[in-house]
Amino acid sequence: MKRKNKTSKIKRAPLTDEEFLDGGCINSIINNDYRLSRWASLAEAVNLIYEHSLDRNKKFNELDLKPLAIQKYVENKSDEILQRINREKEKQSQ
């Protein structure tokens, strides 16, 4: 006999203005911008590695990748991209 999974849906009241300003939605917006900047910097890192492989006439899989160097690049570049996102948002709000 199969059991049916009954999941209870939790109904959440809409956020009050105070909850919103305390970080209910603000934190999710900031986190989304941060995630976007991380993904964009990772994509840029992969493109740089690909261009490097073309310059050396090697296949992408034949390169000696250094994960820590890639991670450091992503961390540094994501901060730069996040600053650009914030500047663009400021321009749009003016």
The pLDDT, as a whole number, for residue 33 is 82
Q: Tell me the pLDDT tens digit for each residue of 17-55.
A: 555 555 555 555 556 788 888 889 999 999 999 888 888
* Percent with pLDDT over 70 in the chain: 67
The predicted model scores a pTM of 0.62
Residue 77 confidence class, pLDDT cut points 50, 70, 90: very high
Q: Where are the domains of the chain?
A: 30-93
Rounded Cα–Cα distance for residues 77 and 74 (Å):
5
62 has a pLDDT exceeding 70: yes
Q: Return the exposure string of 23-49: e unless at least 16 CB atoms fall within 10 Å of the residue's CB, then b.
A: eeeeeeeeeeeeeebbebbbeebeeee
73 has a pLDDT exceeding 90: yes
